[in-house]
Structure 1
Amino acid sequence: MSIFAVEYVYAEGSAAGRDEFRPSHRAWLGQYAEAGRLLASGPYVDGSGALLLFTAESEEALLEELKQDPFNTHGFVAGKRVSEWSPVIGLLNQYT
């Protein structure tokens, strides 16, 4: 398994919708956290987006899974960047 950093850029004017669907978004993320596949996630303080750290077999497989995120299915994510990441120092280096 590889680690991927996923950066969401939230759609302009989507704050109210994100507030409404945040419980389902967090429940969706929770299933990956419980399975040990979501290492960390959280919004940027400025409200522009979020960072999610996932393990996955491939970028393609992760992109398919991300399509099911309620924030994506409801159009609250205007853009995303997925990068394979290799932690060298710190708590997450155990995954490499």
Structure 2
Amino acid sequence: MSVFAVEYVYAADTEEGRDTHRAAHREWLKGFVNEGRLLASGPYADGSGALLLFTAGSEAALLEELKQDPFNMQNFVSGLRVTEWKPVTGAFADYA
């Protein structure tokens, strides 16, 4: 498994919708936490997006899974960037 940094950019004027669907979004994320595949996630302090650290077999497989995120299904994410990441020190180094 590889580690991937996923960056979400939230679409303009979606804060209310994200508030409404946040519980479903977090429940979806919880499944990955329970599998040990979501290492960390959270919104940027300025509210413009979020960073999520996943493990996955491939970028293509992860992209397919991300389509099921309620935030993506509701078109709250206007930009998405997935980058394979190789942590060498710190809490996530064991995943490299």
**TM tier, smaller:** over 0.9
Q: Structure 1 residue 27: deviation in Å? A: 0.1
Secondary structure in structure 2 of the residue aligned to 1:65:
helix
2:66 is the alignment partner of 1:70: no
Give a deviation string over 1:18-77, Cα, whole Å, max 9, x none.
000000000000000010000000000000000000000000000000000000000000
CA distance in 1 between counterparts of 2:18 and 2:88 reads 34
Aligned equivalent of 1:14: 14
Secondary structure in structure 1 of the residue aligned to 2:92:
helix
CA distance in 2 between counterparts of 1:11 and 1:71 reads 10
CA distance in 2 between counterparts of 1:54 and 1:18 reads 21
Q: Number of aligned pairs?
A: 96
Indicate the RMSD between aligned Cα atoms, in angstroms. 0.3
CA distance in 2 between counterparts of 1:34 and 1:50 reads 20
Structure 2 residue runs without a partner (length 5+):
none
**TM value normalised by structure 2:** 0.99
User: Which contiguous aligned blocks of 4+ residues in structure 1 show a shift greater than 6 angstroms?
Assistant: none
